[in-house]
Amino acid sequence: MKKFNISFLLTLLPLITFAQFTLNGKVKNAKTKESITGVTISFDNSFVSTQTNEDGGFEIENMKKGNYIIHFSILGFQLRTDTIEIQKNKTLEIELQENVILMDAIIVSSTRVDDKSGLAFSTIKKEEMQEQNTGQDLPYLLNQQTSVVTTSDAGAGIGYTGIRIRGSDATRVNVTINGIPVNDAESQGTFWVDLPDIASSIDNIQIQRGVGSSTNGAGAFGGSLNIETTKLNPKPYTEFNSTAGSFNSFKNTINLGSGLLNDKFAVDVRLSKLSSAGFMDRASSDLKSYYLSGAYYGKKSIVKFITFTGYEETYQAWNGVPESRLNGDIQGMNDYIARNSLDAEDASNLLNSSSRTYNQYTYSNQVDHYVQNYYQLHFSHEFNRHWNSNIALHYTKGKGYYEEYRKNDAFSDYGLNDVIVGTTTITSTNLIRRRWLNNDFCGTTYSLNYSNTKNFSATLGGAYNYYRGLHYGEIIWAQYASNSLPNTNYYNDTANKSDFNVYLKANYLIADKLNLYADLQYRTVDYSFLGYNSDLINVQQSAVLSFFNPKYGINYAINDKVSLYASYAIGNKEPSRDDYTQSTPESRPKAEHLRDIEIGYKHRTKNMMWSLNYYAMKYKNQLVLTGQVNDVGAYTRTNVENSYRQGIEAEYLFKIIKQLTWMANATYSQNKVEKFEEYVDEFDDVYNYIGQRHNTYNTATDLAFSPDLVASSTIVLEPIKNLKLSFISKYVSKQYLDNTSNESRKLNAFFVNNIRMNYAIHTKLVREIGVVVSLNNIFNQQYESNGYTYSYAYDGKPVTENFYYPQAAFNFMAGLSFKF
Question: Is the pLDDT confidence value at 100 over 90?
Answer: no
pTM for the complete prediction? Answer: 0.91
Q: What is the model's pLDDT at position 33?
A: 84
In this model, does residue 380 exceed pLDDT 70?
yes
Q: What is the spatial distance between Cα 315 and Cα 278, in angstroms, rounded to a whole number?
A: 9
Average pLDDT for residues 502-513, to the nearest whole number?
90
- Strands 223-229 and 173-177: what pairing? parallel
User: pLDDT tens, 410-424?
Assistant: 999 999 999 998 889
Residue range 222-233: average pLDDT? 92
Residue type present at position 718:
E
Among the residue ranges 14-18, 47-51, 531-535, 624-628, the one predicted with the least confidence is: 14-18
Q: What is the mean pLDDT of residues 744-757?
A: 97
Count the residues in the chain.
820
Nearest-angstrom CA–CA distance, 366 and 284: 11
Quick: pLDDT tens for 440-483: 999 999 999 998 867 899 999 999 999 999 999 999 999 998 88
Q: What is the mean predicted confidence (pLDDT) over 667-695?
A: 91
Q: How far apart are CA 529 and CA 543, in angstroms?
A: 9
What is the pLDDT, as a whole number, of residue 716? 97
Confidence (pLDDT) at 13: 34
Those residues whose C-beta lies under 8 Å from the C-beta of residue 423, and which sit 6 or more positions away, are: none
695 and 681 Cβ atoms separated by less than 8 Å: no
Amino acid (1-letter code) at residue 379: F
Q: Is the pLDDT of residue 200 over 90?
A: yes
Per-residue confidence at 18, pLDDT binned at 50, 70, 90?
Answer: very low
Cα separations in angstroms, 797 against 622, 665, 680, 742, 746: 31, 45, 11, 17, 21
Check pLDDT > 90 for residue 652.
yes
Whole-number average pLDDT of the chain: 91
In SS3 terms, 616-681 reads as EEEEEEEEECCCCCCCCCCCCCEEEEEEEEEEEEEEEEEEEECCEEEEEEEEEEEEEECCEEEEEE
pLDDT digits (tens, 9 = 90+) for 266-305: 999 999 999 999 999 999 999 999 999 999 999 899 999 9
> What are the φ and ψ backbone dihedral angles of 351, each rounded to 5 degrees?
-70, -30
pLDDT band per the 50, 70, 90 thresholds, residue 14: very low
Report the SS3 class of residue 336. helix
E strand or H helix at 736: strand 735-736
The pLDDT, as a whole number, for residue 7 is 37
Q: How far apart are CA 113 and CA 503, in angstroms?
A: 14
- Helix 344-352 vs helix 330-339: angle between axes, to the nearest 10 degrees? 160
Range scoring the smallest mean pLDDT among 18-22, 498-502, 804-808? 18-22
Average pLDDT over residues 24-45: 84
The mean pLDDT value for 521-547 works out to 92
Q: Exposed, middle or buried by CB within 10 Å (0-12, 13-18, 19+), for 736?
A: buried
Query: What is the percentage of the chain residues whose pLDDT exceeds 90?
Result: 74
CA distance 134 to 249: 10
Find the mean pLDDT for residues 810-818.
97
Q: What pLDDT, on the 0 to 100 scale, is given for residue 770?
A: 95
Quickly count helices (H) and strands (E) in the chain: 6, 46
Residues 654-674, mean pLDDT to the nearest whole number: 95
Instruction: Print the SS3 string covering 136-197.
Output: CCHHHHCCCCCCEEEEECCCCCCCCEEEEECCECHHHEEEEECCEECCCCCCCCCCHHHCCC
Q: What is the per-residue pLDDT across 164-186, written as a single tens digit (0 to 9) for each?
A: 999 999 999 999 999 999 999 99
pLDDT of the residue at 773: 97
Instruction: Tell me what pLDDT residue 527 has.
Output: 96
Residue-by-residue DSSP string for 569-616: EEEEE---HHHHHTS-TTTPPPPEEEEEEEEEEEEE-SSEEEEEEEEE
pLDDT single digits (tens) 304-319: 999 999 999 999 999 9
Minimum mean pLDDT among 68-77, 466-475, 555-564: which range? 68-77
Using CA atoms, how far residue 738 sits from 69, 443, 694, 749, in Å, is 53, 37, 15, 16
pLDDT value, residue 55: 80
